[in-house]
Amino acid sequence: MMKIGIFSNPGSASTRVSNALKSKIKAEHLVLDNDDPDILITVGGDGTLLSAFHHYEKQLAKIRFVGIHTGHLGFYTDWRDYEVDELIDSLAHDNGQSVSYPLLDILIEYSDGKKQSMLALNESTLKKLTGTMLANVYIKDQLFELFRGDGLCVSTPTGSTAYNKSAGGAVVSSELDVVQVSEIASINNRVFRTLGSPIIISPQEWVRIEPVELNENLMTCDQKVVENRQIKSVTYRISKQRIAFAQYRHTQFWKRVSESFIGVKPVD
């Protein structure tokens, strides 16, 4: 029988919805299992879903996610807090339907020779805590540019709507298995020059960023932070893993973008 897990933030509204879900799941004789779920329901918002993603990232091959938002509209959350009954009915009639999105593989090499692998749903950034970050940027091991500025943001297609968009990056269709690199406040003048626009990397390519100065660099992976370690290089490429959502009523990507950022309505 299908096993259902619940991952909730500690807020009062989310706790109330989470408790209602547990009661209704038991009433429908469905199995509640937070350790080894087939379906994971997140209750909160996009931040909660990101936390759940990293909590269960070793189990992505078998989990389908469902998001309930209890505050503002979330980009990854399709259900509202007052739609618990409809969601329970969908769970009871589940037939395995799903939609999946690409993820970002990250390999960090530290100055001591140690390496660390990470996985991002939205994006990763590399910045310098003080002053200007100087970094050599390679595409498929070919030097592309010497970057000068606040930092660089590397995002997935769905993550292109988050920090990447704020940094001036393009919104990329979730149908594409690509990686986007966007500059964060780059320095461009008569002496220093970067491309000055976002770049899109194919699944057969990878990007490696090598900070010129190893101290005081800050790297993020979604909500995770790597600091106080000397980073020699960070390599990004599209992951072979994907995140899957139960497609009971999963909102189409461009509809989600329009509703989240524009709210356009047809003219009569």
Q: Which residues are catalytic?
A: 46
Distance, CA of 205 to CA of 223 (rounded, Å): 25
196 annotated as belonging to a binding site for a ligand: no
Distance, CA of 243 to CA of 63 (rounded, Å): 8
122 annotated as belonging to a binding site for a ligand: yes
Backbone angles phi, psi at 58, to 5 degrees: -80, -10
Whole-Å CA distances, 87 to 93, 195, 218, 225, 259: 10, 47, 40, 34, 21
Whole-Å CA distances, 23 to 31, 48, 258, 263: 11, 21, 35, 35
Distance, CA of 71 to CA of 90 (rounded, Å): 22
123 annotated as belonging to a binding site for a ligand: yes
Give 140-199 as a DSSP string: TTEEEEEEEEEEEEEE-TGGGGTHHHHTTPPP--TTS--EEEEEEEE--SSS-----S-E
Distance, CA of 1 to CA of 100 (rounded, Å): 23
166 annotated as belonging to a binding site for a ligand: yes
161 annotated as belonging to a binding site for a ligand: yes
150 annotated as belonging to a binding site for a ligand: yes
Let me know if 204 is exposed, middle or buried by CB neighbors in 10 A (0-12, 13-18, 19+).
exposed
In this structure, are residues 249 and 68 in contact, taking their beta carbons and an 8 Å threshold? no
DSSP-derived secondary structure letter, 71: S
162 annotated as belonging to a binding site for a ligand: yes
Binding-site residue set = 46-47, 122-123, 148, 150, 161-166, 185
Binding-site residue set for NAD(+) = 46-47, 122-123, 148, 150, 161-166, 185
